[in-house]
Amino acid sequence: MTSEPAREAGSTSEQFVSHYTELAATVRESGLLRRRHLYYWTQIGVAVAAFIGVWVGVFLLGDSWWQMVLAVALGLVVTQFGFLGHDAAHRQMFSSPTWNAWTARILAGGFAGLSLTWWRAKHNKHHRAPNQEGQDPDIAPGPLAFTPDIVASRTGFAGWFAKHQGWFFFPLLTLEGINLHVASVRTGLDRSSRQPWRRLELCLVVGRLVGYVAVLLIVLPPVMAVAFFAVQMATFGVGLGAAFAPAHKGMPIVPATMKLDFLRRQVMVSRNVRGNPLTDFFMGGLNYQIEHHLFPNMPRCNLRKARPMVRAHCEQAGIDYVEVGLFHSYALVVDYLNNVGLRARDPFDCPLAAQLRG
């Protein structure tokens, strides 16, 4: 015989599954899931033109420390290619999976130096179980500790660093560009992988990197070439990291054994950043993180249009919809990272979720 709490938990889960079904139907009827081909072709065209323009400027400017301005510009342009690769990998651009995959492969690999195979494997795991211990690779042990258990396991300098890691977060992002390139190369060299096109992506990433360094050394003096490379990579790392970090860092961590329906799994651990045209551009639309997680194949430019209906639906369902300003979001990230070890041992403190604990 099924116990009363179990029946209550089951009915609650079914209730929220129904809530998502209703929301999905509303969004689908609104037309916001339709592909926006003109928008994306325009974005790609502008990004390619900007990429070419920066390199023309590099050749024309020559031996001058003003090249560092162009290094920053190139870092920002490459970041946009990272966002476009992300959108294509989520199949936001075209109806054809093949078109999306090759667009992501070329834009991410050829222009940003990122492997689609690596990105898709890691990012898909994140979308399936955001902020869940043992499931989401974005909160797995690494240089930064995102959960109390990880902090508790670290002693000595590592323990001291974990207690102050929030202050090091943004400086560490300057190294993220290099880290992403290394991860992409490692994926390409992984002989145990059976992913198709892995070697082609390796050629794209390595070929781009070698060609990039070679051009810098031909056009600029060695010291200036190294400085250009470092500034561009730092800008790229901060640009991507600053867009992704506010989405989930500092939001509840889901215990490994907890069972949650899709609606609450995506909304309750995600944070939106209030948007305007400038914020939307520099964050690649990822400031609408809640809408993106609920509808990952929705074209980026439609996310802000879906926001009002998603927010209203969450309020009606009694689900917290978190949205803050940009600088407030960064303050929350820094505060959380500095205090991970002081958070509750069960960080997902929610009465609704408690009904569905495994």
Residue-range domain boundaries for the chain: 4-354
Q: Is the pLDDT of residue 342 over 50?
A: yes
Residue in 87, 88, 118 with CA at minimum distance from that of residue 101: 88
Q: Which residues contact 273 (CB under 8 A, 6 or more apart)?
A: 246, 279, 283, 287, 289, 323, 324, 325, 326, 329
Q: What is the mean pLDDT of residues 23-35?
A: 96
Contact predicate 131/253, CB 8 Å: yes
User: What does the pLDDT read at residue 18?
Assistant: 77
Mean pLDDT of all residues in 9-34: 81
Joined together, the tokens standing for residue 311 give: 């927010």
- Dihedral (C-alpha) 232, 238, 240, 243: value to the nearest 10 degrees? -150
Q: Of 4-8, 27-31, 51-55, 241-245, where does mean pLDDT reach its minimum?
A: 4-8
Distance CA 127, CA 19 (A): 19
In terms of Cβ atoms closer than 10 Å to its own Cβ (0-12, 13-18, 19+), residue 36 is middle
Q: Is 323 in a helix, a strand, or coil?
A: strand
Write down the mean pLDDT value for the chain.
90
Structure confidence at residue 352 (pLDDT): 42
Burial classification of residue 194, based on how many CB atoms lie within 10 Å of its CB (0-12 exposed, 13-18 middle, 19 or more buried)? exposed
Could you give the angle at which helices 37-61 and 67-89 cross, rounded to 10 degrees?
Answer: 160
Are 82 and 114 in contact by the 8 Å Cβ rule? The answer is yes
Q: CB of 118 within 8 A of CB of 184?
A: yes
Mean of pLDDT values over 66-73 = 98
| Mean pLDDT of the 307-322 span | 94
pLDDT of residue 348: 54
Give 238-278 pLDDT, tens digit per residue: 999 999 999 999 999 999 888 888 999 999 999 999 978 99
Q: Please report, as a single letter, which amino acid is at residue 318.
A: G
**pLDDT at residue 120, rounded to an integer:** 87
